[in-house]
């Protein structure tokens, strides 16, 4: 195939010619293999043979059955052998080229999704997920000497060639070879594109706020504040921080506007101005996720607030429920179905349950077990749940009703060990691996309570008696839009008469459907005179990121446009035909960035934990890569591979979104908000990487960007 190569240097033309010749050889070899396989055993014939044998078995004598069964097994084995001998897709047979020079001389290995080899033709396609030799591609650069064990055999040699290639519909369209990026235009002409297309822009290291550097504004330090808590605050932020401690404060603002900065600085100022009335031991900061809790603890230390308790919403709920019900422990179920959790957290349930409850005759009816049964009566009432779903106005599907009822049935079933204790030997209630007989079965849910039920149960108890909770001097809720009305009700029982609290939030960053609105939040806290501050300037994200985030929100974006962010690096849009190509491309870009900026913080934020696992496998062997789950961030330089559910309130120098596909990010309001959260975690540059079908939440302008 002849194409114009324009003014490309000879070395680049040689690479193109080599890769196109290699692709042609692979496709010819695959075609020959398919032709050869077509002359083998006919699959349709095997199916017909199996049908005849089944008919024979139905009428055969007993003595003939072993022979017939043997024939059936043989036919099945032949079919399975054909199915496992699938050939690579000739339209996209591989996506990386690795040439190793070892003891046996140079050999080409092609990374794809299916293993195939024809040694006589010099074609070796290996499955990038499982083949041991693929490790060399991940861990070595072109020109490196390698030494790896493949099984028990030590392999040594040199990496001669290491390239990423994009093959679309059987045509080579892109080659990335070290610092060289070559692309084939629609007219067939090849050209070299700028390196910045395939690399993250330098200069981002240290742009994200670090735990020891709290403050995103731009004001001057005021010497009269002993702790310097107003350092780096702008006038708008300083005014909010200066709100008197006896007045509730609601701090609203877009991502990166300094909501957390204001909340924590206010906490420090209150503690410094009147330590006797507001001791740190009676102050609490509650956040939705563990990652934000870890960051907040680090942020509080430089402000002299090491004595302030920081809790995640979940840990706070459990500790508070044990105190309210005077119990040493509560048997929780930690794997609540998402739809069940959504219904239990929705404002519609709060209103419906308030209308349903009736006062018990005695206070004895407020024990955890009695209230648990009363709540189960509501969950078993299909008409009641139907009322909740209708009131949600489309935010809850009707399938939630059956899911809640089935989930409740399992939680209120009799534990298997209790059911069998009188009819079997107790030793038989333990499996051979030492587990209880009901473990890893639906019976394990018996007698458990969902975490989402705890604030509801405390709400029910509070209708008839005090929860007996110790009042706090000041409470800070960060990312307050993620707290359900039931949880806010419990918070209201912690506040003193002055309702001293700080709420920081952004309605555009809610990750669950059913946010009731800020008036409902304040009403649930029984607050009537809150001071409200809406921060207008986003200091974190550069202008291209701010614009994309607003486009992703669509009609959900606030009507009043915030001032544009500061100038910054453009958003990188990269699309690939195959998911594996996208992941390898990300791996290459990360290796390059870490070598140039070893002190940068990078967040690879996937749509789900499963997707994060898939991306992490590409870089797992490298020392700077971390798979962060359950919020266990170290806030050290390097690459954190995580998911969007773990990053609220956090920021990174660079952010890569690895799976912006139509399947991972569908066209619905919840996906818009979650994607908005992921986009706005970066302080320097954002990359949007997709494969297959790009998410329609990404505006059309991105489609014109380089692949």
Give the CATH number, domain containing residue 485.
3.40.50.300
Residue-level pLDDT at 430: 53
Specify if 100 maps to a domain: yes
Q: Is the pTM of this model over 0.85?
A: no
Q: At what angle are helices 399-411 and 368-379 packed, to 10 degrees?
A: 150
Tokens of 620: 């797992």
Tokens of 631: 């919020």
Specify if 230 maps to a domain: no
First to last CA, the chain: 23
Q: Phi and psi of 82, rounded to 5°?
A: -65, -40
Do 421 and 491 belong together in one domain? no
For residues 386 and 400, the answer to whether their CB atoms sit within 8 Å is no
Specify if 280 maps to a domain: yes
Residue-level pLDDT at 60: 64
Specify if 200 maps to a domain: no
Domain stops at, among 428, 462, 496: 462
Residue-level pLDDT at 435: 55
Residue-level pLDDT at 444: 84
Do 669 and 651 belong together in one domain? yes
Instruction: Give pLDDT < 50 ranges for the chain.
Output: 1-2, 83-84, 212, 214-231, 701-707
Number of folded domains that form the chain: 4
Specify if 157 maps to a domain: yes
Specify if 208 maps to a domain: no
Tokens of 551: 């486009």
Do 366 and 298 belong together in one domain? no
Residue-level pLDDT at 78: 63
Residue-level pLDDT at 280: 95
Instruction: Tell me the C-alpha distance between 697 and 211, whole Å.
Output: 33
Instruction: Tell me the C-alpha distance between 468 and 334, whole Å.
Output: 26
Do 530 and 665 belong together in one domain? no
Do 589 and 474 belong together in one domain? no
Do 426 and 492 belong together in one domain? no
Q: Which residue has the tokens 């490790």?
A: 135
Q: Of the candidates 468, 470, 466, 525, which has an alpha carbon nearest to the alpha carbon of residue 501?
A: 525
Do 266 and 300 belong together in one domain? yes
Residue-level pLDDT at 219: 37
Residue-level pLDDT at 13: 92
Domain stops at, among 414, 430, 462: 462
Domain stops at, among 497, 513, 535: 535
Do 434 and 474 belong together in one domain? no
Do 547 and 678 belong together in one domain? yes
Identify the domain containing residue 492 by its residue range: 235-320+470-535
Specify if 220 maps to a domain: no
Tokens of 125: 């396609």
Burial 652-686 (b: 16+ CB within 10 A, else e): bbbbbbbbbbeebbeeeeebbbbbbbbbbbbbbbb
Q: Which residue has the tokens 């996720």?
A: 289
For residues 533 and 240, the answer to whether their CB atoms sit within 8 Å is yes
Do 393 and 479 belong together in one domain? no
Do 19 and 158 belong together in one domain? yes
Burial 542-580 (b: 16+ CB within 10 A, else e): bebbbbbbbbbbeeebeeeebeebeebbebbbbbbbbbb
Do 19 and 138 belong together in one domain? yes
Specify if 209 maps to a domain: no
Residue-level pLDDT at 226: 36
Q: Of the candidates 624, 620, 617, which has an alpha carbon nearest to the alpha carbon of residue 600?
A: 624
Residue-level pLDDT at 120: 87
Tokens of 464: 């008839």
Instruction: Tell me the C-alpha distance between 286 and 293, whole Å.
Output: 8
184 φ/ψ sector (left φ>0, alpha ψ -120 to 50, else beta): beta
């Amino acid at each position: 195939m002849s194409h114009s190569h324009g003014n490309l240097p000879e070395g680049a033309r040689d690479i193109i010619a080599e890769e196109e010749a290699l692709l042609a050889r692979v496709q010819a070899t695959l075609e020959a293999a398919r032709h050869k396989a077509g002359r083998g055993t006919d699959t349709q014939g095997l199916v017909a043979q199996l049908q005849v044998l089944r008919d024979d078995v139905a009428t055969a004598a007993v003595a003939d059955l072993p022979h017939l069964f043997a024939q059936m097994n043989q036919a099945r084995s032949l079919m399975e052998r054909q199915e496992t001998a699938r050939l690579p897709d000739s339209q996209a047979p591989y996506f990386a080229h690795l040439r190793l020079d070892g003891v046996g001389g140079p050999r080409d290995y092609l990374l794809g999704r299916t293993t195939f080899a024809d040694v006589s033709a010099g074609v070796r396609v290996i499955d990038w997920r499982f083949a041991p030799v693929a490790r060399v591609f991940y861990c070595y650069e072109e020109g490196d000497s390698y030494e790896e064990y493949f099984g028990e055999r030590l392999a040594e040699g040199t990496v001669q060639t290491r390239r990423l290639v994009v093959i679309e519909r059987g045509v080579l369209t892109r080659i990335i070879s070290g610092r060289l990026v070559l692309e084939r235009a629609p007219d067939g002409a090849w050209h070299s594109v700028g390196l910045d297309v395939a690399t993250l822009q330098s200069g981002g290291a240290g742009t994200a706020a670090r735990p020891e550097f709290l403050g995103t504004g731009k004001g001057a330090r005021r010497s009269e504040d002993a702790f310097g808590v107003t350092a780096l605050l702008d006038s708008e932020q300083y005014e909010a921080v200066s709100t008197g401690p006896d007045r509730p404060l609601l701090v609203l603002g877009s991502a990166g506007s300094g909501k957390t900065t204001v909340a924590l600085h206010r906490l420090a100022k209150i503690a410094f101005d009147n330590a006797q009335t507001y001791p740190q031991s009676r102050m609490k900061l509650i956040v939705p996720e563990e990652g934000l809790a870890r960051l907040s603890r680090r942020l509080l230390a430089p402000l002299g607030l090491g004595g302030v308790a920081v809790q995640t919403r979940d840990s706070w709920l459990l500790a508070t429920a044990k105190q309210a019900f005077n119990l040493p422990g509560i048997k929780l179920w930690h794997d609540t179905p998402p739809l069940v959790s959504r219904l239990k957290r929705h404002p519609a349930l709060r209103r419906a349950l308030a209308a349903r409850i009736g006062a018990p005759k005695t206070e004895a009816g407020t024990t955890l077990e009695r209230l648990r049964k009363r709540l189960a009566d509501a969950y078993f009432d299909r008409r009641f749940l139907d009322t909740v779903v209708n009131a949600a106005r489309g935010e809850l599907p009707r399938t939630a009703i059956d899911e809640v009822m089935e989930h409740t049935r399992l939680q209120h079933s009799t534990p298997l060990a209790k059911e069998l204790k009188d009819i079997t030997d107790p030793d038989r209630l333990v499996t051979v691996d030492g587990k209880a007989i009901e473990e890893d079965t639906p019976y394990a849910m018996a007698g458990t309570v969902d975490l989402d039920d705890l604030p509801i149960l405390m709400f029910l108890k509070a209708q008839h008696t005090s929860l007996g909770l110790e009042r706090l001097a000041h409470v800070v809720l960060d990312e307050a839009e993620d707290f359900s009305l039931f949880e806010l009700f419990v918070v209201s029982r912690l506040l003193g008469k002055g309702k001293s609290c700080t709420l920081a939030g952004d309605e555009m960053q809610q990750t669950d459907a059913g946010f009731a609105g800020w008036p409902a939040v304040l009403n649930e806290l029984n607050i009537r005179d809150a001071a409200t501050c809406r921060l207008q300037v986003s200091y974190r994200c550069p202008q291209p990121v701010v614009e994309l985030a607003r486009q992703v929100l669509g009609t959900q974006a606030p009507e009043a446009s915030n001032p544009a962010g500061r100038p910054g690096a453009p958003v990188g849009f990269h699309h690939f035909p195959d998911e594996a190509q996208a992941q390898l491309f990300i791996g290459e870009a990360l290796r390059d960035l870490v070598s140039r900026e070893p002190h940068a913080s990078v967040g690879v934020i996937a749509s789900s934990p499963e997707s994060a696992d898939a991306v992490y496998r590409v870089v797992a062997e490298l020392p700077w890569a971390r798979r962060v789950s359950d919020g266990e961030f170290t806030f050290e330089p390097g690459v954190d591979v995580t998911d969007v559910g773990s990053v609220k309130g956090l920021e990174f120098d660079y952010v890569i979104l690895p799976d912006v596909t139509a399947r991972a990010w569908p066209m619905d309001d919840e996906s818009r908000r979650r994607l908005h959260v992921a986009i706005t975690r970066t302080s320097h540059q954002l990359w949007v990487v997709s494969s297959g079908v790009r998410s329609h939440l990404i505006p059309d302008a991105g489609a014109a960007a380089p692949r």
